[in-house]
Structure 1
Amino acid sequence: MCLKTLGFVLVLFPGLLQAQGCDPPRLVHGNFLPRQETYSDRTTITYSCDNGYKPVVEGWWATSTCERGKWSHEPQCIDESSCLPPTIPNGKYPENSNGWYEAGSILTITCNGGFEHQNQITTTTCGNGKWSSAPVCERSMSACSAPPKIPHAVIIHGYQEVFAAGSEVQYECEDGYTAEGAHNKKSVCTQGSWTAVPTCTNFCAVNTDDNPEYISVGTVYIENGEEKRVECVKPHSWSLEQYSKVRCINGRVEATKCRNKVEHAAASVFDSD
Structure 2
Amino acid sequence: MLQLECNAGFKLNIKGENATARCIRGIWKPDVPKCMSAPCLVPAVEHGQYYKVEPHTKQLSDKPSLTPLSTYEEVQSNEFITLECEDGFNAQGSAQLRCAHGSWSVNAFSECTSVPCTLPNIPGIIYDVSRPFTVIAR
- TM-score, normalization: structure 2? 0.45
Which structure has the greater CA radius of gyration? 1
Considering Cα pairs closer than 8 Å and 6+ residues apart, tell me whether 1 or 2 has the greater RCO.
2
Bigger fraction of residues in helix: 1
